[in-house]
């Protein structure tokens, strides 16, 4: 099933968060007069954390929110489970209006529906690894034997068998973060909120954990909201990506859309150095076959044929083995376009 | 070309021009100050131009320019100089010796008259009286000579006064601009710093000087200044009235609150009785084995050996019962401190306002001398062990409260946030996350409380709490040095024993 057809699990509508004593007045002024961030700070001494953010995440998606530090991405993710109360806006989780939940119902939802992983692990130092993983279940009042069973299973999912009777401080950073992931998975939640989980780790370990997380995600089909400041990570993991700047969402799209079609200069700056080989597909750069002007020595009948859905990486492999331009075909095997070597080089550089 | 875009490092770094800002700062006479401050800054603060205004007007210049610290410093210093000057010029330097001589002479005169009368009546005291009178007259002559000599030293005072005054003004003239430059730097950081030349400040300063200088000169240079200047012209009637009001208030409260006070006493008494049953009334070998075993199980074998050694010391010196009574007293006080202090600490870690109100009270509890609150405690609770414990609680509770609040505040917020994110209730977070993470701080507080309780043992014995404190107290009363030291060492061992056992449990957790 395509993602677009699945049910919406997380939905934010026009969420605003303004920090400060006069946040409500500032909010009203923003709505009625449309004043900007600087004026809010100037007039009300309040800081705009997130501004008019809307998005939805469908079941099974990994939705990445990418932005630099201070862009409001961590604030945004905390709205989903109301660790931070929005100043204005609507939040729905699994079809329920999160803002209307009573304290008890909210706690219930946090305990059963949402698992969260934090940048600095936030493990309980005085509890064993097992008891850390079992903590969400303990909160839910599960029996001890069930807690032990589930935490054991959860730890084996992240590959930490045999470490259950250690203390967190005895583990390396990468292992601690895997404990954090196991803890989030322990309550078998529908939604995973991951707040820069791999940012504090060194690149090699980060890569390993990303792979492990992708494999797990495939296996468990969790809907994930993933916060990161690293565009490479967002592109590797994300089904879709939202790019944030100064509390606003600048662009939402699939990795390909973001890379090939940046919404503004800010996003363009980001994607400039991203390798496009795996993100850009033949259909984006091909010239329609009826518009193609053959060069000297071209003979399209001798050209190799590939599906128009292959990526540039694959196109390069094909192109180096021939001196003819590559012809692309649609699902029925009909010729639809041509990618000359010039066009391919341009595509590698610009993504279009 | 690449070379063109390179910054030219050989070019001089452009100078910033501060003269406008200095002009704004200095206000009056700004051209002069621009020149001075720029020179100071340019020479690396090595050269300071002379300041005539500061030298001439001294403290008044400081005030007008807003250098209040300097104003006070130089006002006081110049007063000292002026007093010497005044003494030298018009002070009556020999006055003290002179009046002594006059008194001696009068006494001698009286004695001579007595001697005369005695001689007439044939009394045998006549001779000795006459002799004393002669001696007194001699002493009077010496005093007289000293008075004259003192009066002749006027020029030393005069000279000292002049030298001091000149030195002070020289220093001010020399360094005024340097200080003013510092003031300018401060003003750049904080625009509320006094700046410019301010008439209002000058008037304040002159008014202050007009009061301070004449009064001080008068007090120090006139031989018999008016009594209203030397003593505050108010009797002790306010003091008496106030203390009487407080007395009656305490009496009334003691009467009205008798029920409450008796209830508190009964509660504390119960805890004391239970603890006493175990430690004092039980056979001593049982208690000794019990304490050593507890030390071993809870702490470590080393603490157990130390406990055994301490108990041996106490037993051999015959201080067993006194020590146990003291341990009961301290144990009960520490128990109440923890029972009351930890919840208070939790509250204060949550409520900034409550803590702001409580902090001065905690300071008061720790700093006010125990004797002060011993008096009302006696008024309310009488004498004996219970008031002793109450006094100890007042003194020893603040560390537990403070360190509990501190420990809870220092719990990493991300761990608490994680617990919230997993749906934990506030109570569960407190019990399962915050208190365990704050344990090191809380245990430090408990440790402080135990040690402070033991230091109160002697003072508590003043109001009838028995035990080692009483031994020390009697030793003090009879100046029995040996007894005091032996009992004091026993207090020390009790304290260390209790502390090591309580800390031991926690220390073991840490080591794991």
Percent of chain B exceeding pLDDT 90 equals 24
For chain B, give every domain's residue range.
19-93+153-226, 253-511
Find residue A66's DSSP bridge partners: A228, A243
**Residue B164 CA to its chain's centroid (Å):** 33
- The predicted-structure confidence for B435-451, as pLDDT tens digits, reads as follows 999 988 998 898 889 88
Residue A122: C-alpha distances to residues A68, B361, B407, B412, B414 (Å): 22, 36, 18, 8, 6
Q: Which of B421, B433, B437 sits opposite A110 (nearest CB)?
A: B421
Task: For residue A79, give the nearest of A90, A63, A70 by alpha carbon.
Answer: A90
Cα separation of A269 and A258, whole Å?
11
Residue with tokens 């055994």: B308
Written as six digits, the tokens of A64 are: 């990445």
Q: Is B231's pLDDT higher than 90?
A: no
Yes or no: say if A228 and A196 are a contact pair by the CB < 8 Å rule. yes
Q: Is B7's pLDDT higher than 60?
A: no
Find residue A60's DSSP bridge partners: none
Q: Which residues, in sequence order, are CB contacts of B177 under 8 Å at separation 6+?
A: B33, B36, B37, B40, B48, B49, B50, B51, B54
* B contacts of A107 (beta carbons < 8 Å): 423-425
Cα separation of A50 and A64, whole Å?
16
Task: For residue A342, give the nearest of A320, A325, A328, A317 by alpha carbon.
Answer: A325
Q: Is B125's pLDDT higher than 80?
A: no
| pLDDT confidence bin for B41, thresholds 50/70/90 | confident
Cα separation of A224 and A67, whole Å?
17
Mutate to test the interface with B, among A116, A125, A139, A170 (most CBs of B within 10 A): A139
* B contacts of A139 (beta carbons < 8 Å): 422-424, 428
pLDDT at position A159, please?
Answer: 85
- Give the phi and the psi of residue A34 in degrees, each rounded to 5: 65, 35
pLDDT at position B507, please?
Answer: 63
pLDDT at position B9, please?
Answer: 59
Cα separation of B74 and B57, whole Å?
11
**Residue B321 CA to its chain's centroid (Å):** 38
Provide, for chain B, the percentages of residues in helix, strand and coil under a 3-state DSSP scheme, each rounded to the nearest 5: 80, 0, 20
Residue B75: C-alpha distances to residues A194, A210, B53, B81 (Å): 66, 73, 16, 10
Residue A185: C-alpha distances to residues A116, A120, B75, B195, B499 (Å): 9, 17, 74, 64, 44
Q: Which residues, in sequence order, are CB contacts of B372 under 8 Å at separation 6+?
A: none
B414 and A122 within 8 Å at the Cβ level: the answer is yes
pLDDT at position B508, please?
Answer: 58
- Give the phi and the psi of residue A227 in degrees, each rounded to 5: -95, 135
Yes or no: say if A263 and A244 are a contact pair by the CB < 8 Å rule. no
Alpha helices in B152-236 (DSSP H): 154-189, 199-221, 227-230
A135 and B420 within 8 Å at the Cβ level: the answer is no
Q: Could you tell me which chain B residue has the CA closest to the CA of A123?
A: B415
- The predicted-structure confidence for A38-85, as pLDDT tens digits, reads as follows 888 888 888 888 888 999 898 888 899 998 888 888 888 999 889 998
Three-class DSSP labels, B438-451 = HHHHHHHHHHHHHH
Other C-beta atoms closer than 10 Å to the C-beta of B192 total 7
Angle at B257 between CA B252 and CA B259, to 5 degrees: 140
A120 and B414 within 8 Å at the Cβ level: the answer is yes
Q: Which residues, in sequence order, are CB contacts of A277 under 8 Å at separation 6+?
A: A311, A312, A313, A316, A348
Cα separation of A67 and A248, whole Å?
10
Q: Is B506's pLDDT higher than 90?
A: no
Q: Is B4's pLDDT higher than 70?
A: no
B421 and A114 within 8 Å at the Cβ level: the answer is yes
- Give the phi and the psi of residue A172 in degrees, each rounded to 5: -75, 170
Cα separation of B419 and A124, whole Å?
9
- The predicted-structure confidence for B170-211, as pLDDT tens digits, reads as follows 999 988 888 898 899 899 898 888 888 888 889 999 999 999
A112 and B414 within 8 Å at the Cβ level: the answer is no
Mutate to test the interface with B, among A75, A103, A136, A187 (most CBs of B within 10 A): A136
Question: Which chain B residues touch A if contact means CB-CB below 8 Å?
Answer: 412, 414-415, 417-425, 428, 432-433, 436-437, 439, 512
CATH fit for domain B253-511, picks 1.10.760.10, 1.10.3720.10, 3.40.50.1220, 3.40.50.720? 1.10.3720.10
Strand A326-329 to strand A305-307: parallel, antiparallel, or no bridges (unpaired)? parallel
Q: Is B2's pLDDT higher than 50?
A: no
Cα separation of A83 and B422, whole Å?
10
pLDDT at position A263, please?
Answer: 86
B418 and A122 within 8 Å at the Cβ level: the answer is yes
* A contacts of B414 (beta carbons < 8 Å): 118, 120, 122
- Domains of chain A as residue ranges with CATH: 3-8+58-87+96-271 (3.40.50.300), 282-350 (3.10.580.10)
Provide the CB-side half-sphere exposure for A345 (13 A, CA): 5
B417 and A83 within 8 Å at the Cβ level: the answer is yes
Q: Which ipTM value was assigned to this complex?
A: 0.83
| pLDDT confidence bin for B167, thresholds 50/70/90 | very high
pLDDT at position A4, please?
Answer: 64
Q: Is B134's pLDDT higher than 50?
A: yes
B437 and A125 within 8 Å at the Cβ level: the answer is yes
* B contacts of A154 (beta carbons < 8 Å): none
pLDDT at position B457, please?
Answer: 82
Residue with tokens 């009394």: B123
Cα separation of A309 and A315, whole Å?
10
* A contacts of B425 (beta carbons < 8 Å): 107
Written as six digits, the tokens of B486 are: 């032996």
Between residues B120 and A104, which one has the greater pLDDT? A104
């Amino acid at each position: 099933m395509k993602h677009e057809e699945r049910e919406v699990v997380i939905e934010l509508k026009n969420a605003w968060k303004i920090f400060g004593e006069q946040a409500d007045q500032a909010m009203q002024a923003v709505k009625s007069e449309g004043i900007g961030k600087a004026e809010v700070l100037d007039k009300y001494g309040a800081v705009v954390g997130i501004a008019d953010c809307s998005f939805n995440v469908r079941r099974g998606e990994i939705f990445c929110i990418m932005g630099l530090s201070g862009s409001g991405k961590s604030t945004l993710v905390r709205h989903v489970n109301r660790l931070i109360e929005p100043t204005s806006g609507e939040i729905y989780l699994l079809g329920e209006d999160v803002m209307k939940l009573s304290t008890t119902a909210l706690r219930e939802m946090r305990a059963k529906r949402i698992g969260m992983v934090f940048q600095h692990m936030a493990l309980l130092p005085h509890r064993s690894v097992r008891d850390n993983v079992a903590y969400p279940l303990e909160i839910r009042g599960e029996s001890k034997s069930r807690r032990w069973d589930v935490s054991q299973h959860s730890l084996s999912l992240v590959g930490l068998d045999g470490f259950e009777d250690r203390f967190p401080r005895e583990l390396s950073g990468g292992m601690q973060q895997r404990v954090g992931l196991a803890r989030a998975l322990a309550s078998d939640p529908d939604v995973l909120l991951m707040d820069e989980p791999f940012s504090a780790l060194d690149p090699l370990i980060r890569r390993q954990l990303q792979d492990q997380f992708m494999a797990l995600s495939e296996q468990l089909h969790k809907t994930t909201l993933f916060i990161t400041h690293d565009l490479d990570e967002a592109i590797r993991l994300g089904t879709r990506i939202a790019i944030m700047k100064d509390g606003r969402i600048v662009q939402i799209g699939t990795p390909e859309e973001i890379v090939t079609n940046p919404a503004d200069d800010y996003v363009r700056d980001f994607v400039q150095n991203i390798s496009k080989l795996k993100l850009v597909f033949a259909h984006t750069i091909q010239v329609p076959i009826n518009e193609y002007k053959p060069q000297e020595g071209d003979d399209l009948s001798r050209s190799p044929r590939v599906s128009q859905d292959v990526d540039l990486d694959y196109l390069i492999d094909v192109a180096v083995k021939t001196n003819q331009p590559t012809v692309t075909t649609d699902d029925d095997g009909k010729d639809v376009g041509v990618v000359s070597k010039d066009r391919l080089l341009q595509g590698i550089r610009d993504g279009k | 070309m690449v070379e063109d875009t390179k910054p030219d490092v050989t070019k001089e770094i452009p100078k910033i021009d501060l003269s406008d800002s200095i002009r704004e700062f200095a206000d009056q006479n700004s051209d002069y100050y621009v020149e001075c401050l720029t020179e100071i800054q340019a020479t690396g603060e090595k050269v300071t131009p002379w300041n005539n205004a500061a030298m001439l007007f001294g403290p008044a210049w400081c005030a007008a320019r807003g250098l209040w610290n300097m104003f006070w410093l130089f006002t006081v210093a110049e007063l000292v100089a002026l007093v010497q000057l005044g003494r030298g010029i018009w002070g009556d330097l020999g006055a003290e010796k002179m009046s002594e001589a006059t008194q001696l002479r009068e006494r001698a005169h009286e004695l001579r008259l007595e001697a005369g009368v005695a001689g007439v009546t044939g009394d045998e005291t006549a001779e000795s009286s006459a002799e004393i009178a002669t001696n007194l007259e001699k002493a009077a002559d010496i005093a007289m000579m000293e008075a004259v000599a003192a009066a002749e030293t006027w020029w030393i005072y005069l000279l000292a006064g002049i030298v001091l005054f000149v030195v002070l003004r020289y220093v001010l003239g020399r360094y005024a601009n340097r200080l003013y430059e510092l003031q300018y730097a401060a003003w750049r950081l904080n625009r509320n710093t006094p700046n410019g030349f301010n008439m209002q400040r000058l008037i304040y300063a002159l008014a202050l000087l007009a009061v301070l200088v004449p009064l001080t000169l008068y007090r120090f240079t006139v031989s018999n200044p008016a009594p209203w200047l030397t003593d505050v012209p108010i009797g002790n009637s306010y003091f008496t009235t106030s203390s009487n009001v407080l007395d009656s208030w305490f009496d009334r409260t003691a009467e009205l609150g008798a029920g409450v006070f008796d209830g508190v006493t009964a509660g504390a008494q119960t805890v004391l009785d239970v603890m006493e049953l175990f430690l004092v009334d039980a056979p001593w070998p049982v208690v000794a084995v019990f304490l050593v075993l507890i030390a071993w199980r809870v702490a470590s074998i080393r603490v157990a050996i130390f406990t055994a050694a301490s108990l041996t010391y106490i037993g051999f010196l015959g201080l067993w019962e006194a020590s146990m009574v003291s341990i009961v007293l301290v144990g009960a006080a520490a128990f109440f401190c923890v029972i009351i202090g930890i919840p208070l600490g939790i509250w204060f870690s949550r409520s900034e306002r409550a803590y702001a109100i409580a902090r001065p009270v905690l300071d008061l509890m720790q700093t006010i001398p125990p004797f002060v609150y011993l008096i009302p405690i006696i008024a309310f609770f009488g004498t004996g062990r219970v008031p002793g414990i109450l006094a100890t609680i007042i003194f020893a509770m603040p560390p537990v409260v403070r360190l509990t609040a501190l420990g809870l505040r220092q719990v990493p917020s991300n761990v608490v946030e994680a617990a919230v994110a997993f749906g934990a209730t506030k109570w569960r977070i407190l019990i399962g996350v915050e208190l365990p993470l704050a344990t090191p701080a809380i245990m430090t507080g408990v440790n402080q409380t135990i040690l402070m309780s033991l230091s109160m043992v002697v003072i508590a014995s003043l109001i009838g709490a028995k035990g080692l404190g009483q031994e020390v107290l009697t030793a003090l009363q009879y100046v029995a040095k040996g007894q005091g030291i032996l009992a004091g060492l026993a207090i020390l061992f009790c304290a260390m024993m209790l502390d090591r056992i309580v800390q031991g449990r926690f220390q073991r957790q840490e080591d794991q």
